[in-house]
A and B are shown apart, each in its own frame.
Chain A
Amino acid sequence: MIELPVKNMETGEYFRAGDRAELANDGVDRTIDLAPFVGTWINTMRDTQGFAKLIVSNRDGKLFVQAFAAAAPDLCDWGEVEAHPFADRVDSRKGAGFAAHYDTGSSEVVFQANMNLGLLVVLTFNRFKDGSSRANYICREFFHR
């Protein structure tokens, strides 16, 4: 087991040993690399009833997601929202995942995406606000470029 310094309860600077500020206290630029996410991502399940396509883009260093849900005859364009990227560690700039949030009025949907073996794995957390008695639910889908 790795020996780590004892947490300073007074400063409260970390709540997990891997979060210690000294790990990233070297002045290095840690702007997260957005390149792994950028592109058009297609659901691996062609007959999905969830999200069929995602367009992820980088504009001026900010990450944006445009989601398209399954609908007939055309896909339902949810429009574009800004996404928040995450690295894989506090001392890394490697893009490991992103989160995005849609509010449709009747529901809220949170996207939580991560890269795995060239796939974009997306969990959506769907919460209804309209009192329709539909259960809040999650959905896990896989996308390829």
Chain B
Amino acid sequence: MTFRDFTSVVDYRTREANSGPSRVDPSPFVGTWVNTNDSAPHRIARLVMTVRDGILMVHAWGYCTPDPCDWGEASADVYADSINSQTAMSFTAVFDFGFMETHLQTNLKRGTMVIATANKFSDLSGRSDYYTREFFYQVDDDSF
């Protein structure tokens, strides 16, 4: 299989996409996001997103009792909706817990952030690798 520099019609370089560095603005994600579903045990409870040195950082908490499980922080890759756009509408990030890797793959839709997680276990515990799709809304501050 031989590829040129595009692999489908939408990737074809336009004049606009051929000049200057690509820079996708991550600001639509910045802030605190809370899960819309407070009963699912597999859920991510909340996310706090910041930009540091131009890089989008994701801090996540999983649902645990009595307190949320702090996943720590991971850097994110940001995606636009086309090759000519500079507005972020998606990001991906990976949290490596040692016994499990969780890949976050997100998109924004009408003010809601949709997060798919792909979860792979490496600890031979018999747990199935599994997939979730969750919805988040933005809140004004990081109180929880």
- Report chain A residues within 8 Å CB of B19: 133
- Decide yes or no whether B144 CB sits under 8 A from chain A: no
Q: Nearest chain B CB to A1's CB is how many angstroms away?
A: 7
On whether the beta carbons of B119 and A104 are closer than 8 Å, the reply is: no
- Report chain A residues within 8 Å CB of B64: 4, 6-7, 14-17
On whether the beta carbons of A2 and B1 are closer than 8 Å, the reply is: no
On whether the beta carbons of B97 and A21 are closer than 8 Å, the reply is: no
- Size category of the binding interface on chain B: 35 or more
On whether the beta carbons of A19 and B100 are closer than 8 Å, the reply is: yes
On whether the beta carbons of A123 and B18 are closer than 8 Å, the reply is: no
- Decide yes or no whether B111 CB sits under 8 A from chain A: no
Q: Nearest chain A CB to B138's CB is how many angstroms away?
A: 19
Q: Give the residue name and chain of the A residue nearest to B132 (CB).
A: A88
Q: Give the residue name and chain of the A residue nearest to B65 (CB).
A: A4
- Complex interface bits, B1-23 against A, C-beta within 8 A gives 1, otherwise 0: 10111111111010001111111
On whether the beta carbons of B42 and A16 are closer than 8 Å, the reply is: yes
On whether the beta carbons of A87 and B10 are closer than 8 Å, the reply is: no
Q: Nearest chain A CB to B74's CB is how many angstroms away?
A: 13
- Report chain A residues within 8 Å CB of B129: 32, 84-87
- Decide yes or no whether B143 CB sits under 8 A from chain A: no
- Report chain A residues within 8 Å CB of B18: 132-133
- Report chain A residues within 8 Å CB of B102: 15
- Size category of the binding interface on chain A: 35 or more
- Decide yes or no whether A96 CB sits under 8 A from chain B: yes
- Decide yes or no whether A3 CB sits under 8 A from chain B: yes
- Decide yes or no whether A55 CB sits under 8 A from chain B: no
Separation of A92 and B131 alpha carbons in the complex (Å) = 11
On whether the beta carbons of A106 and B83 are closer than 8 Å, the reply is: no
On whether the beta carbons of B127 and A78 are closer than 8 Å, the reply is: no
On whether the beta carbons of B130 and A135 are closer than 8 Å, the reply is: no
- Decide yes or no whether A127 CB sits under 8 A from chain B: yes
| Given A88-B132, A112-B116, 11 more pairs with CB closer than 8 A | A17-B65, A18-B63, A87-B131, A90-B130, A91-B128, A92-B130, A105-B3, A114-B116, A135-B22, A136-B77, A137-B82
On A, residues with C-beta under 8 Å from B are: 1-7, 12-19, 21, 23-28, 30, 32, 49-51, 69-72, 76-79, 84-93, 96-97, 99, 104-107, 109-110, 112, 114, 123, 125-128, 130, 132-140
15 contacts between A and B (CB under 8 A): A17-B64, A18-B63, A77-B1, A92-B128, A92-B130, A106-B3, A106-B5, A123-B105, A125-B90, A132-B13, A133-B20, A134-B84, A135-B17, A135-B24, A135-B84
On B, residues with C-beta under 8 Å from A are: 1, 3-11, 13, 17-24, 38-44, 62-66, 69, 71, 77-86, 89-90, 92, 95, 97-100, 102-103, 105, 107, 116, 118-121, 123, 125-133
